[in-house]
Chains A and B, each alone.
Chain A
Amino acid sequence: MIWLLALQLAVGPAQHYEKAKEDFAQQRLSEAVSEVDAALHESPYMVPALILKARLATFAHRPDVAKSCLITAITVDPTSEEGQFYLGLLYYVQNDFKLALSPLQAAQTLSPKSPLPVFYLAMTQEALGDEIKAQDLYQRAEDLSPHKSPQSAEILVAYGRFLLSLGRTEDSIEKDRRAIEADPKSRDAHYELAKGLDYEGDFNNAAREGERALTLPDLDTTDAQIHFLLAKLYRKLNEPDLAKAHLEKFQAAHQTTDK
């Protein structure tokens, strides 16, 4: 029994944290929470554990807990790029855009070669309506992102969507095409390209891109969204049967509220 007690005492906060990280990676989320709480019980200001707990809290729809952890983390260690970034991200997803700016800028300063803080700064500035700053930041995020990676494809898709919202359809299409080059299996990129081509009046190619998107794995763009777009495109292409079929699939994918 004594050796067991000694073994338990030997499991320090670092080990609890490492175990929590592993559990998180393996989707053993309840276990991850237990471990991270154990780590923080022993070392309340352990920054990596605070950040991991914040991420877990985000999944549990407890932004208040996440915020508290992250503020503690960056108070303890203002140079924590991860802490600053996650806090900015948290504010962003809560639509507190002005609050998001400072931690995201701090994260960017701390990690100037990382595309993610710049990317989220771009989306934050876009949300704040500063199109000039947003475009500059999107470009920087694109420049910083590794070539031909899913991450760069996601950045290009968001950049393209931003340009489309400005009415710059051709530029948007160019970004979408580059996103497809970077990640040919990006459903979002094919879907966005289909939208851009629709705006351009190129309905045939738009439909082809939409159909291609349907075959790709669903991460962000849903089947329902694609069926909705295809229904519209086939209506414009005077293909009523196809339009109807996609509308029905859209409806099936969408919950209706008819009595």
Chain B
Amino acid sequence: MADVGRRSFLVSIAAWLTALVGRRAIPTFLPAELGLSQAAEPSPSASLHLSNAQTRPDGRMPDNHSSMAASNWFTDVASQSQFAYRTNNDFTGRKYFPQPMCGGVAAIDYNNDGFMDLFFTNGAKLPELEKTSPAYYNCLLRNNGDGTFEDVTAKAGLTGADLGFCLGVAVADYDNDGYEDLFICSAGRNALYHNNGDGTFTDVTAQSGLKSKPENVLSVGAAWFDYNNDGLLDLIVTNYTFWTPQTDKQCFKDTAREEYCSPTIYKSVESRLYRNVGHGRFEDVTETSGIGKALGKGMGISIADFTGNGLMDIFIANDTEPNFLFINQGDGTFKESGLEYGVAYNEEGNAVSGMGSDAKDFDNDGWVDVIYNDLAGQFFAIFKNEGGKSFNEVTWPTKLGPLTRNLSGWSIGFIDYNNDGWKDIYSANGDVDNLAESSRQHDTMFENEDGKTFIDVTEKMGPDFAFVGYQRGAAFVDLNNDGFMDLVVTSLGQKPRILMNNALVKNHWIMFDLRGRKSNRDGIGATIKVTTGSGRALHNHVTTSVGFMSSSDRRAHFGLGAEAKIDHVEIRWPSGIVQRLEHPTVDRIVKVEEPT
């Protein structure tokens, strides 16, 4: 959402022009009275407890899609299902500021059948800011478990017909009743939907205490986490600015072409933190927690324990503002420490157009690292966690920099797509605007080579993966429980792509489906260390907040490479309880309950 910055790759035009006129300092603009008006211009003319009968004994679904593309890693199966959803930002010529941010995706097993279902947010008619027709409705697709999906939106009560322009979505069981709930961010009011456990949801926003966002604030993303480890999931919401269709600003690239305005002309605002006080109610603790001290243009949120003290911290990618790293002080407050920890700026000391983000341990050293994407000319940035004390940007040593030179990314995340035990990097790409030839882009997959460098393997992903458009939201989810992560991606004006992983290699894997008892039921925040038979240590943690405006599979996934044996697994629950599993069987989704 920003001007493409090519400054660092440009011998300063101003300097060069200065050289031509005698190396004098020349102002970079002229006063308006210069009269350079157009008129003056000459005219040039897998689960252990799966219930679905179609599931194989190993927990996998029938491979009805793998024959379609034996040599491609991903195949889009969306066309096998009947559903009307299309990402609809009402782009009809006039360019409203939020339009490029449309199409949040969530993986949610709303009916507890063991198969992850899918939820999509959608835009609204503008300037009305209303879902004036079903074309703008949100969408819930039930996973039939056979590679097809059924639109159950209306039945579930999730059309969002009374909402505005919806953006991000966050999934978690906030009331620990065993059913996953939904929080939706919007331009307009945000909404909390409680899962009734019978296939329907109820909008409980009014009584929940989550209505308290300031008027006309544009909320982009949200993440569930338990910052005070009381067993109740709290909620952080990234806000971008104050915006209404009436206050929308109009900008032009030139006299003939309207363009989306630079974010810099909009005011920064604070993110909001809501503490779960139980019984379905939340308290707005934005100010008392310290979250409200930092103003930004919040986009992606990543939740992790970056310092290794058992408390969940928050990374927020900001658009054209320094990124935030809120370090949990353990007393109900956070300290914004992005600069101190080295993640606020890129290595040039510049704030960039931060978009999506993810926080995972990409080099398997036991410390959670950070990645965010941004716009073409800025380079995505990856930060290695140095023992919980600071971060070191390794964009160039990992060779990620040159791979992202021309990409404008939105959702992004670490995904071990080939189960080799190294988390690769996926990015959903496409420019903010549609004015340049390179605006339409395809997604990218960068393979992690032993935790040291990344290489571009997009070509191997197949033509469905490489669809060219304006990709936005993306969720990582194992839709068929085969242990290979699938991808669901939205593109502006398009049906979503449901990209099934064809599992082209025989690497082993394990997934953990945690159930907290003292901790929050979802186990969000639990850290898991897998030690393989050979002694290789792999790390992950439970979170649903990945990428941009999206919510991924809650189950913690581990690729194991060729190793078919695990020595032991150590789970650190948010409650502080440490659980050890000895020699779990691989190639399974393992359900683990927190011991008391």
A and B contact pairs by CB, cutoff 8 A, 23 listed: A30-B30, A33-B36, A56-B30, A58-B17, A59-B17, A59-B26, A68-B41, A93-B6, A95-B376, A95-B436, A123-B9, A123-B11, A127-B6, A127-B9, A127-B377, A165-B396, A220-B11, A220-B12, A251-B339, A254-B349, A257-B322, A258-B293, A259-B294
A225 to B397, CA, bound (A): 19
If the complex has contacts A93-B13, A165-B396, are A257 and B268 also in contact, measured as CB distance less than 8 A?
A: yes
A227 close to B (CB within 8 Å):
yes
If the complex has contacts A67-B254, A95-B436, are A44 and B33 also in contact, measured as CB distance less than 8 A?
A: no
B591 close to A (CB within 8 Å):
no
Residue of B nearest to A227 (CB): B349
Residue of B nearest to A250 (CB): B349
B406 close to A (CB within 8 Å):
yes
B80 close to A (CB within 8 Å):
no
Contact A259 B254 (CB under 8 A): no
- Please name all residues of chain A whose beta carbon is closer than 8 Å to the beta carbon of B256 when the two chains form the complex: 64
A119 to B11, CA, bound (A): 10
Minimum Cβ distance to chain B for residue A243 (Å): 10
A-contact bits for B432-454, CB 8 A (1 contact / 0 none):
00001110000000000000000
A71 close to B (CB within 8 Å):
yes
Residue of A nearest to B17 (CB): A55
B38 close to A (CB within 8 Å):
yes
Minimum Cβ distance to chain A for residue B207 (Å): 30
If the complex has contacts A235-B390, A250-B349, are A257 and B295 also in contact, measured as CB distance less than 8 A?
A: yes
B537 close to A (CB within 8 Å):
no
- Please name all residues of chain A whose beta carbon is closer than 8 Å to the beta carbon of B347 when the two chains form the complex: 195, 228-229, 232
Contact B29 A229 (CB under 8 A): no
A-contact bits for B150-169, CB 8 A (1 contact / 0 none):
00000000000000000000
Minimum Cβ distance to chain B for residue A86 (Å): 10
Contact A247 B339 (CB under 8 A): yes
In chain B between 1 and 40, which residues have their CB closer than 8 angstroms to a CB of chain A?
4, 6-13, 15-17, 19, 21-22, 24, 26-31, 33-36, 38, 40
- Please name all residues of chain B whose beta carbon is closer than 8 Å to the beta carbon of A229 when the two chains form the complex: 347, 349
Contact B396 A164 (CB under 8 A): yes
A180 to B156, CA, bound (A): 67
Minimum Cβ distance to chain B for residue A218 (Å): 10
Minimum Cβ distance to chain A for residue B265 (Å): 14
SS class, residues of chain B in contact with chain A: loop
Contact A199 B36 (CB under 8 A): no
Contact of A71 among B29, B44, B293, B438 (CB under 8 A): B44
A144 close to B (CB within 8 Å):
no
Minimum Cβ distance to chain B for residue A155 (Å): 8
- Please name all residues of chain A whose beta carbon is closer than 8 Å to the beta carbon of B94 when the two chains form the complex: none
Minimum Cβ distance to chain B for residue A181 (Å): 18
Contact A165 B36 (CB under 8 A): no
If the complex has contacts A98-B437, A127-B9, A225-B348, are A68 and B15 also in contact, measured as CB distance less than 8 A?
A: no
Minimum Cβ distance to chain A for residue B361 (Å): 22
Contact of A165 among B24, B43, B339, B401 (CB under 8 A): B401
A234 close to B (CB within 8 Å):
no
Minimum Cβ distance to chain B for residue A258 (Å): 6
A10 close to B (CB within 8 Å):
no
- Please name all residues of chain A whose beta carbon is closer than 8 Å to the beta carbon of B396 when the two chains form the complex: 164-165, 167, 199
Residue of A nearest to B252 (CB): A64
Residue of B nearest to A63 (CB): B254
Residue of B nearest to A228 (CB): B349
B201 close to A (CB within 8 Å):
no
A161 to B396, CA, bound (A): 11
Contact A44 B42 (CB under 8 A): yes
Minimum Cβ distance to chain A for residue B319 (Å): 12
A224 to B4, CA, bound (A): 20
Most buried by B among A55, A63, A95: A95
Minimum Cβ distance to chain B for residue A200 (Å): 10
Most buried by B among A37, A56, A63, A71: A37
A225 to B350, CA, bound (A): 8
A-contact bits for B269-313, CB 8 A (1 contact / 0 none):
010000000000000000000001111100000000000000000
A-contact bits for B332-376, CB 8 A (1 contact / 0 none):
000000011010010111100000000000000000000000001
Most buried by A among B7, B34, B321, B348: B34
- Please name all residues of chain B whose beta carbon is closer than 8 Å to the beta carbon of A232 when the two chains form the complex: 342, 347, 392
A206 close to B (CB within 8 Å):
no
Contact A154 B38 (CB under 8 A): no
Binds B, one of A1-9, A21-29, A102-110: A21-29
Residue of B nearest to A89 (CB): B13
A-contact bits for B541-556, CB 8 A (1 contact / 0 none):
0000000000000000
A208 close to B (CB within 8 Å):
no
Residues of A within 8 A of B (CB): 24-25, 27, 29-30, 33, 37, 40, 44-45, 50, 55-65, 67-69, 71-72, 75, 89, 92-98, 119, 123, 126-129, 131, 150-151, 154-155, 157-158, 161-162, 164-167, 195, 199, 219-220, 222, 224-225, 227-229, 232, 235, 247, 250-251, 254, 256-259
B402 close to A (CB within 8 Å):
yes
- Please name all residues of chain A whose beta carbon is closer than 8 Å to the beta carbon of B293 when the two chains form the complex: 258-259
Minimum Cβ distance to chain A for residue B291 (Å): 11
Contact of A257 among B38, B296, B377 (CB under 8 A): B296
Minimum Cβ distance to chain B for residue A58 (Å): 8
Contact of A228 among B27, B321, B345, B377 (CB under 8 A): B345
- Please name all residues of chain A whose beta carbon is closer than 8 Å to the beta carbon of B583 when the two chains form the complex: none
- Please name all residues of chain B whose beta carbon is closer than 8 Å to the beta carbon of A247 when the two chains form the complex: 339-340
- Please name all residues of chain A whose beta carbon is closer than 8 Å to the beta carbon of B56 when the two chains form the complex: none
- Please name all residues of chain A whose beta carbon is closer than 8 Å to the beta carbon of B376 when the two chains form the complex: 95
- Please name all residues of chain A whose beta carbon is closer than 8 Å to the beta carbon of B21 when the two chains form the complex: 24-25, 27
User: Nearest 9 pairs between A and B by C-beta?
Assistant: A228-B349, A72-B44, A64-B254, A60-B30, A220-B12, A154-B11, A44-B42, A225-B349, A219-B15
Known: A64-B255, A227-B349. 11 other contacts (CB 8 A): A65-B38, A72-B42, A94-B253, A95-B4, A98-B437, A98-B438, A127-B6, A158-B9, A164-B396, A220-B15, A250-B349
- Please name all residues of chain B whose beta carbon is closer than 8 Å to the beta carbon of A161 when the two chains form the complex: 8-9
A258 to B24, CA, bound (A): 35
Residue of A nearest to B40 (CB): A37
Contact B406 A57 (CB under 8 A): no
- Please name all residues of chain A whose beta carbon is closer than 8 Å to the beta carbon of B19 when the two chains form the complex: 150-151
Contact B437 A166 (CB under 8 A): no
Minimum Cβ distance to chain B for residue A148 (Å): 16
B536 close to A (CB within 8 Å):
no
Minimum Cβ distance to chain A for residue B435 (Å): 9
Contact A95 B42 (CB under 8 A): no
- Please name all residues of chain A whose beta carbon is closer than 8 Å to the beta carbon of B24 when the two chains form the complex: 27
Contact A166 B402 (CB under 8 A): yes
- Please name all residues of chain B whose beta carbon is closer than 8 Å to the beta carbon of A40 when the two chains form the complex: 42
Minimum Cβ distance to chain A for residue B28 (Å): 7
A257 to B8, CA, bound (A): 23
A-contact bits for B30-67, CB 8 A (1 contact / 0 none):
11011110101111100000000000000000000000
Residue of B nearest to A222 (CB): B349
A158 to B30, CA, bound (A): 28
If the complex has contacts A33-B35, A165-B396, A166-B402, are A126 and B9 also in contact, measured as CB distance less than 8 A?
A: yes
Minimum Cβ distance to chain B for residue A84 (Å): 15
A56 to B28, CA, bound (A): 10
Contact B295 A259 (CB under 8 A): yes
Contact B30 A59 (CB under 8 A): yes
